[in-house]
Amino acid sequence: MPTTTRRERQRAATGEEIKDTARRQMAEHGAAALSLRAIAAAMGITAPAIYRYFPNRDALVTALIVDAYQALGAAVAAAEAAVPRDRFGDRFLAAAGAYRRWSLEHPAEFQLIFGTPIPGYEAPADVTVPVVLEAFSPFATIPEDAWRAGALHDAVFPQEPETDARLAAWLIGEGLHLPAPLMRLVLEGWGQMHGLVTLELIGQLPPVVGDVGPLYDAAVRALVARLGLRVAP
Amino acid sequence: MPTTTRRERQRAATGEEIKDTARRQMAEHGAAALSLRAIAAAMGITAPAIYRYFPNRDALVTALIVDAYQALGAAVAAAEAAVPRDRFGDRFLAAAGAYRRWSLEHPAEFQLIFGTPIPGYEAPADVTVPVVLEAFSPFATIPEDAWRAGALHDAVFPQEPETDARLAAWLIGEGLHLPAPLMRLVLEGWGQMHGLVTLELIGQLPPVVGDVGPLYDAAVRALVARLGLRVAP
DNA sequence: CATGAATCGTAAACGGCGTATACTGTTTAC
DNA sequence: GTAAACAGTATACGCCGTTTACGATTCATG
């Protein structure tokens, strides 16, 4: 006998339907056009009914953000998982490629989680930061795996004492085992991937380079080389 | 006798006052909270009066975006101009530092030009793209200066035929004289600077590394080295 | 099975938003 | 001096998020 009653299942389904409808509206009219009244109308209910499921619009947005992060993280993890475990460089390339692909395929959700497109909405950091780190964990765990396997190329990691000390403390707190300078390179790489995707999405890069894909891939390959990860010949 | 009448001067002044008031509101309540009624109230007029100066809210936003790009470009250019012309690496470092500093000091304007924080507003690419390129031109012209001066370190530029061909065509169209692989590295670097600043502004990096400044500087120095630009010893 | 409670939804309203229209003074130019 | 151009207001429309008061349904329990 299931612990969930009929009513609870119904309630959860309606909550999901609200989020699905919201996602559909965002995909069509952009994240900024998210409107409780429009969602309700598309569902055939009235706007105040949504308040039975979310205390206010910001709570709905936060739920959508968490979902989006998890979808992004799942896409990255799935792409990485499809590569043989000992091909660390290729795993990183697959993860980075999935990151860009998901972002291009879900531009509204991307700007929802990485921008501030909602008037008056401020993402609660205590909710988002852990989910973000979870989504981006492959970019740290792949180099960690390679490090522990002793499979790192003979790369030399430049030292940055100030930042690296801070980073080392954070790594310990997170239970990650990899050198701080390596993690710093990962963060610099995250910034690069994020920036290139952002510039592509707002249309600044395409007029200059056309298809951004090769530019992005070149940057990631250079990053993989700096990290000392080997790729298939 | 000036070619501008009294009325024209008055009109231009009011237009500037509207934009200044808008900037003050953005700085206080965020770019998304921009409201014609609030601007008008702060100026002691009514909202429809603004329509004498801007055909609609989007036109005002576009004007603010253009102004912001020019302010960002001016900050970058000024920082770069303060460095001796033949210290190409230091000029690049100064420009990159000014880019981050301006962004941190003007977060609302940064998200105004690089995000989509306004409900229903879509930045007109034909207006913004040229202004963006103008603002970022130092990051291309500094390597170009170094290249023409034969002052590039013995760096080896990895080739990416597909993208580089496209880039070379664009460079010719823009009248820029530097190798396509070099320009590609500049764009990858732009993505990195942009991404790191963005992640810092939305609060993802600080909990990991604390002060993002050293991380940013390390990334830019590595980029400068890859570009083959020399820095002061 | 009857009944009281919990739940889900609606209707109406409030204040605020961008914006269109019609109107009134003031300033300018001939 | 007068007619046109201009700057501003008042009003109104249809959106928005949100609150309140109120029905209808569904559930759990005597």
- Output the six-digit token pair for B211: 């002060």
Question: Of B194, B197, B205, B211, which to mutate for an interface test with A (greatest number of A Cβ within 10 Å)?
Answer: B194
Considering only the beta carbons, identify the residue of A133, A170, A218 that sits closest to B163.
A218
Residue B76 · residue B83 · CB < 8 Å: no
Cβ of B115 and A116 within 8 Å?
A: yes
Q: Sign of the C-alpha dihedral, residues A45, A46, A51, A52?
A: negative
Nearest residue in B to A128, CA atom: B204
Determine the distance from the C-alpha atom of residue A8 to the mean position of all C-alpha atoms in its chain, rounded to a whole number.
30
pLDDT of residue A144: 97
Cβ of B116 and A199 within 8 Å?
A: no
Considering only the beta carbons, identify the residue of A160, A198, A209 that sits closest to B187.
A209
pLDDT of residue A198: 96
Cβ of B188 and A117 within 8 Å?
A: no
- Output the six-digit token pair for A145: 């795996």
Neighbours of A156 (CB within 10 A): 8
How confident is the model over A161-188, as pLDDT tens digits? 989 999 999 999 999 999 999 999 999 9
Q: What is the pTM of this model?
A: 0.94
pLDDT of residue B117: 55
Considering only the beta carbons, identify the residue of B32, B120, B163 that sits closest to A209.
B163
pLDDT at B176 over 90: yes
pLDDT of residue A88: 97
Nearest residue in B to A34, CA atom: B119
pLDDT of residue B118: 60
Residue B79 · residue B103 · CB < 8 Å: no
By C1' distance from the Cα of B35, the closest nucleotide is: C17
How far apart CA B72 and CA B101 sit, in angstroms, is 10
pLDDT at B1 over 50: no
- Which residues make up the interface with nucleic strand D when CB must lie under 7 A? A 5-7, 10, 34-38, 47-48, 51, 56-58; B 7, 10-11, 14, 40, 44-46, 48-49, 52-53
How far apart CA A145 and CA A108 sit, in angstroms, is 33
Cβ of B208 and A30 within 8 Å?
A: no
Q: What is the mean pLDDT of residues B170-197?
A: 96
Cβ of B117 and A116 within 8 Å?
A: yes
Q: What is the mean pLDDT of residues B209-220?
A: 97
CA distance A167 to chain B (A): 6
pLDDT of residue A1: 38
How confident is the model over B53-106, as pLDDT tens digits? 999 999 999 999 999 999 999 999 999 999 999 999 999 999 999 999 999 999
Contacts of B198 in chain A (CB under 8 A): 114, 191, 194-195, 198
pLDDT of residue B120: 63
Highest mean pLDDT out of A151-155, B31-35, B171-175: B171-175
Contacts of A28 in chain B (CB under 8 A): none
Residues 6+ apart with CB under 8 A from A1: none
A55 CA, D29 C1': Å apart: 30
A46 CA, D24 C1': Å apart: 15
With vertex at residue B198, the alpha carbon angle to CA B194 and CA B203, rounded to the nearest 5 degrees, is: 155
Instruction: Show the 3-state SS of chain A.
Output: CCCCCHHHHHHHHHHHHHHHHHHHHHHHHCHHHCCHHHHHHHHCCCHHHHCCCCCCHHHHHHHHHHHHHHHHHHHHHHHHHCCCCCCHHHHHHHHHHHHHHHHHHCHHHHHHHHCCCCCCCCCCHHHHHHHHHHHHHHHHHHHHHHHHCCCCCCCCCCCCHHHHHHHHHHHHHHCCCCCHHHHHHHHHHHHHHHHHHHHHHCCCCHHHHCCCHHHHHHHHHHHHHHHCCCCCC
pLDDT of residue A41: 97
How far apart CA B138 and CA A15 sit, in angstroms, is 50
pLDDT of residue A120: 65
* Low-confidence residues in chain A, pLDDT < 50: 1
